[in-house]
Amino acid sequence: MDGSDIEDLLDLLPLERTAFNIITKSGTTIETMGSFFVVRERLLAAFGEEGYRARVVATTDPAAGELRKLVDREGLVSLPVPPGVGGRFSVLTAVGLLPLAAAGVDIRALLRGAAAARENALSATDNAALDFARIHVALVEAGVTDLVFMPYAQVLSDTSLWFVQLWAESLGKQRPDGSRVGPTPIAAVGAVDQHSQLQLFMEGPANKVVCFVDAGPNSSLAVPAFGDACPPLAHLAGRTFDELRQAELRGVRAGLIEAGRGVSTITLPAVTAETMGALLFLLESATAMAGWMLGVEPFDQPGVEAGKLFAHGLLGKPSEAEWAERAQAFESGDRKTSGF
């Protein structure tokens, strides 16, 4: 939603050989549709209707919604968002698969990994998703409410951010009896956050458990011999960066255990399309199981919907005028927010 970023990107891209994929199930998402209409205007001006249609793929509901109406009216190529799949669980549908395929990822291997994780999640024994959910729900009930997701691989830094949405939006809910639950996810990445958040995890409040992802080897790059340039670090010469990363993960994990902090570890043999498919499905199924254990519906997001209605009202949507009035009353101080 940063206009300068959108302008910079569109100025940089060669429009004649750029494809645009618009992804929104409802077709009313402010951020997505606002950006799309900017792109649409530029493509129509530069290439006409035929050129515009040739450069746009829409991923949306197969039958309903405002974007579906526009797709049908303007003859755009489209892919379906399965009606029963919410946005945060949609990475293994066309929502995630088309961008991944365009980026060169082997999506068949990704889905093989996801299928294997699905089979495991349905098994009665050695069920990794059930173990993950059971352990972390037990910790929540014991007062360890914050889950730090900390892969040791820079390539998985965005996976941390994805997991934060998955866990928070699925499990931060009000139960039917009115009580509230909210296990808080925290995104981290090793070894970057060893030099920032780790101090809090190690010596701050004992309300956090750290879930490491041991990502396996990814490079043969090694520290070269450097003579006597730095004697205190002579033991690093010849060590691969994978070895350095492994030592740091093991060291941080040992330090947390010694400090009485909870840790868990997901181990991948390597970061591949297949192991990523398995990891994503594992975390999705574990999140769903955790929701049911905590007594909340993991697939809705009523708290998010209120913010959307307020925003639409403030932007002048007639049907949401009442929401705009309520927002303006809060801002003017005429009404106090509840819960404080």
For the domain that residue 11 is a member of, what is the CATH number?
Answer: 3.40.50.10490
Q: Would you call 336 a catalytic residue per the annotation?
A: no
User: Has residue 302 been placed in a domain?
Assistant: no
Same domain? 129 vs 268? yes
Given a cut of 60, whether residue 337 has pLDDT beyond it is no
Q: Are residues 132 and 78 in the same domain?
A: no
Let me know whether 73 and 123 are in one domain: no
Report how many domains make up the chain: 2
Average pLDDT over residues 106-122: 97
Predicted confidence band of residue 340 (pLDDT cuts 50, 70, 90): very low
Annotation says 136 is catalytic: no
Tell me, yes or no, whether 290 and 177 share the same domain: yes
Range of the domain at 36: 1-83
User: Among the options 195, 235, 258, 336, which is catalytic?
Assistant: 195
One domain, residues 54 and 159 = no
Residues 251 and 150 in one domain: yes
% of the chain surpassing 70 pLDDT = 98
User: What DSSP string describes 211-278?
Assistant: EEEE-------BPPP-TTS-GGGGGGTT-BHHHHHHHHHHHHHHHHHHTT-EEEEEE-SS--HHHHHH
Tell me, yes or no, whether 156 and 271 share the same domain: yes
pLDDT at 108 exceeding the cut of 80: yes
Average pLDDT for 94-117: 97
**Domain-embedded: residue 102:** no
Are 33 and 153 within one domain?
no
pTM of the predicted model, to two decimals? 0.90
Q: 98, 57 in Cβ contact below 8 A?
A: yes
In a domain, 318, yes or no: no
In SS3 terms, 108-138 reads as HHHHHHHHHHHHHHCCCCCCHHHHHHHHHHH
Measured CA to CA, the distance from residue 143 to residue 340 in angstroms comes to: 22
| Local confidence band at 314 (pLDDT 50, 70, 90 cut-offs) | confident
* Active-site option among 66, 243, 297, 308: 308
Q: Are residues 65 and 129 in the same domain?
A: no
Instruction: Mark whether 263 and 200 lie in a shared domain.
Output: yes
Q: Is residue 161 part of a domain?
A: yes
Residues 136, 169, 208, 274: which is the catalytic one? 169
Percentage of the chain lying above the pLDDT 90 cut: 81
* 67 in any annotated domain: yes
Q: Which residue has the higher pLDDT, 28 or 173?
A: 173
Q: What is the pLDDT of residues 160-204, one digit of tens each?
A: 999 999 999 999 999 999 999 989 999 999 999 999 999 999 999
Does 145 lie in the same domain as 16? no
Mean pLDDT, residues 93-105 taken together = 97
Residue after which a domain boundary falls, among 17, 49, 83: 83
> So what's the pLDDT on residue 177?
94
- The region that residue 65 occupies, defined by phi over 0 for left and psi between -120 and 50 for alpha, beta otherwise, is left
- 32 vs 6, 27, 36, 39, 134, CA distance in Å? 12, 8, 6, 11, 36
Residue 169 is among the residues annotated as catalytic for this protein: yes
